[in-house]
Amino acid sequence: MQNRKHSTQADWESCGSLHWVTALDIGGTHITSVAVDVEKGQINESSRRNLAVDAKGSRQEILQTWREAVSGTMKAIPCCFGLLGLGAAMPGPFDYDKGICLMKGLGKYDSLYGLNIRRFFKKTLEITESLPLIFRNDAVCFLLGESWKGAAVHHEDVIGITLGTGFGSAFMRKGVILEGSEGEGRPPGGWFYSVPYKNGMADDYFSIRGLLGRYQNETGHRLSSVIDLAQRASKEAEARKVFEKFGHELAGFLAPWLDSFKPDCLVTGGNIARAWQWFGVPLVEDLRKSSPHVDVKPSVLFEDAALLGAALLPLRFKEPADPNLTER
């Protein structure tokens, strides 16, 4: 579909859908915004806006970049027709119900601490207060996207993990995301990252810094990215051994949780999952021995998983009433 500066409702109806959601994926270095046809489960590529963000910048700089991305998407597609809401995948800590940023002392978005992001977007985008804007953790959105249009299609009981700057996780039972306190074989909050592991917590080991730290400990060489390590793995035994050990240890960590939660699928995403060929075999083989009923898969959507999952948020969750919205 071509961009239009002026569109009639007939034009919009001719596009084949009147059901759209503006989906956001906000990370530590970027914001991506797209319009998603939630009838077809398709991203409209002409609406995609992907901008770099300085997460250590001032509040004004960050918010201006966010506004530029989202307003660009909403101008590219005539979302005034059939817009069902907005959904945003956000890292934590974040009060997802209230829409308040709680990140502090993490080297990202400190300047936004305590800010109501929902009010900011509704005011700056000049959208009606009745239009829902729903926030959820990026791992939750990843799992929603993969179960809708990705690797976990046709599975109802699923664990999704993201291996990136941190170790993200989300749980789904009978197609419904489980939230809140621990239970049903989940860690507190459904968060693997804070589960004690070895001399620290799981996030210290099953993340980019953990993986690259392993390589540095083994070889004395410091690398800047997983891409660098994957490239070395194609020709260097030490790099392959680091990935293999990562796969074995990840399987050992996950096995008790798979046994207690009993999912029928485990889907793995994040930047480390792009190196699946180097750690996927030991991960799958080990888990097949301990949990033969679980289908272990890598992501097929990667970054688009969180966007598609975010598009489902206004359809799956209600926006809590905010009595202060009229006082902006």
Q: What mean pLDDT value characterizes the chain?
A: 89
Structural contact between residues 33 and 73, judged by C-beta atoms closer than 8 angstroms: yes
pLDDT tens digits, one per residue of 189-207: 899 999 999 999 999 999 9
Q: Which ranges of the chain would DSSP assign to H, the alpha helix? A: 9-14, 59-76, 117-124, 138-149, 202-205, 208-219, 226-233, 237-261, 276-290, 303-316
pLDDT at 323: 52
pLDDT at 267: 98
Tell me the domains of the chain and their CATH numbers. Answer: 9-139+307-327 (3.30.420.40), 154-300 (3.30.420.40)
Using alpha carbons only, how large is the chain's radius of gyration in Å? Answer: 20
pLDDT tens digits, one per residue of 237-266: 999 999 999 999 999 999 999 999 999 999
pLDDT tens digits, one per residue of 278-305: 999 999 999 999 999 999 999 999 999 9
| 134 alpha carbon, distance to own chain's centre | 14
* pTM beyond cutoff 0.85: yes
pLDDT at 78: 62
The arithmetic mean of pLDDT across residues 75-92, rounded, is 81
pLDDT at 6: 31
Burial class (CB in 10 A: 0-12, 13-18, 19+), 297: buried
